[in-house]
């Protein structure tokens, strides 16, 4: 036995049952307690472990969820992947994680690979899906939920924070703080999250008869955000406040303002981010930021996906969850606001 791989047939022979009985035991199908005991004892003695991928290829079903993420530079995504994985495992699912940059050809290849694995469902974290690719997943009976990213039109579920409302709340906060020259370094314009936060912020300023002195696409990139900061602050009337589309970029903005320009945050410039990753609370940054309610977003994502796996006719949902504005020392705190 030690010279070859142990098979379910070996387990069946040792347990004195049929091979189909072994399959039922390890698939969770109905089997008598006596059969389950004999099969598991035989499997343990022989060192047999079932192959869930092989079973998925045969049955067309699996307990595997594919998680697709665009990048891990931003602290928000390792945390999200960890909590999504833990929650899915608590529900008895295995997890396959794939990286896919925000390039449609790369995304399509990864999704096709996951379809080949006969995954039960797919979660994409800040990865775009075309309507055509969404339809192909639907035709294959594989539900998809987009996490922290939305898609125009119907047919695919998404879970995000309330990005438009969050942008508006940050605008209200900065105006209440007496700021007059407010700039925005936005997230990537090609993403729904970047667009929605920017739209909420611009509309929020407009409600106060104001407009941003600049809106620059930061592409969710540290170096681009740093250069945008230099551009915003280089004129004769530099910004007195900057709303940054996520914390990952906001740290670069603060480093540039303080390290390169010798400015005080918030005495010279207030900075507000979006996400509330752990680093935001560190004394080195102490960043005021709009918190994404990660635990509730994860719970909603998993509930939505498993619901669609259980009931393929369940309609798609677009879920937005509001998070609080976390006040720290990187922005002037107006009267009426408390930490």
Per-residue pLDDT of the chain (339 residues; tens, 9 = 90+): 446 788 888 999 999 999 889 888 887 678 899 999 999 999 999 888 776 666 655 555 678 899 999 888 899 999 999 999 999 999 989 899 999 877 778 888 888 888 887 889 999 987 877 778 888 888 888 999 999 998 876 678 999 999 999 999 999 999 999 999 999 999 988 899 999 999 999 999 999 999 999 999 999 999 999 999 999 999 899 999 999 999 999 999 999 999 999 999 999 999 999 999 999 999 999 999 999 999 999 999 999 999 999 998 999 999 999 999 999 999 999 998 987
Across the beta sheet with 241-244, the strand order is 214-217, 182-186, 241-244, 270-275, 288-291, 325-326
CATH number assigned to the domain covering 59-161+294-321 = 3.40.50.2300
pLDDT digits (tens, 9 = 90+) for 153-199: 667 899 999 999 999 999 999 999 999 999 999 998 889 999 999 99
- Asked if CATH classification 3.90.420.10 holds for the domain at 8-50, the reply, yes or no, is no
**Domains 59-161+294-321 and 163-292 in one fold:** yes
User: How far is Cα of residue 257 from the mean position of the Cα atoms in its chain?
Assistant: 29
Q: 163-292 has which CATH code?
A: 3.40.50.2300
CA distance 307 to 316: 10
Query: Any idea where the domains of the chain sit in the sequence?
Result: 8-50, 59-161+294-321, 163-292
pTM recorded for the entire structure: 0.83
Q: How many residues are given for the chain?
A: 339
**Distance from C-alpha of 253 to C-alpha of 76, rounded to nearest angstrom:** 18
Smallest CA-to-CA distance from 142 within 161, 123, 159 is with 123
How far apart CA 272 and CA 241 sit, in angstroms, is 8
């Amino acid at each position: 036995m030690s010279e070859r791989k142990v098979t379910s047939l070996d387990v069946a022979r040792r347990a004195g049952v049929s091979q189909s009985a072994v399959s039922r035991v390890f698939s969770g199908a109905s089997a008598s307690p006596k059969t389950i005991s004999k099969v598991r004892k035989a499997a343990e003695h022989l060192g047999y472990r079932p192959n869930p991928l092989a079973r998925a290829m045969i049955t067309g079903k699996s307990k595997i969820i594919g998680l697709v993420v665009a990048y891990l530079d931003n602290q928000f995504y390792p945390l999200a992947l960890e909590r999504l994985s833990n929650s899915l495992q608590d529900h008895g699912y295995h997890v396959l994680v794939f990286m896919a940059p925000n390039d449609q050809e790369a995304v399509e290849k990864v999704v096709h690979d996951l379809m080949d694995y006969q995954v039960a469902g797919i979660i994409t974290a800040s990865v775009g899906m075309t309507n055509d690719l969404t339809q192909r997943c639907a035709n294959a009976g594989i539900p998809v939920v987009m996490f922290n990213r939305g898609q125009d039109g119907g047919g695919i579920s998404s879970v995000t924070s309330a990005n438009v409302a969050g942008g508006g709340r940050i605008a209200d906060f900065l105006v209440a703080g007496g700021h007059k020259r407010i700039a925005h370094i936005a997230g990537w314009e090609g993403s729904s999250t970047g667009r929605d936060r920017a739209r909420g912020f611009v509309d929020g300023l407009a409600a106060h008869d104001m407009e941003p002195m600049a809106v620059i696409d930061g592409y969710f990139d540290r170096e681009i955000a740093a250069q945008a900061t230099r551009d915003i602050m280089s004129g004769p009337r530099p910004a007195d406040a900057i709303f940054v589309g996520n914390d990952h970029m906001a740290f670069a903005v603060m480093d540039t303002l303080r390290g390169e320009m010798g400015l005080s945050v918030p005495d010279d410039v207030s900075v507000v981010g979006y996400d509330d990753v752990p680093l935001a609370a560190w004394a080195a940054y102490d960043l005021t930021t709009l918190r994404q309610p990660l635990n509730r977003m994860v719970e909603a994502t998993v509930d939505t996906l498993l619901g669609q796996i259980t009931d393929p006719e369940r309609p798609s949902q677009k879920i937005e969850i509001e998070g609080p504005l976390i006040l720290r020392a990187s922005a002037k705190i107006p009267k009426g606001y408390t930490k």
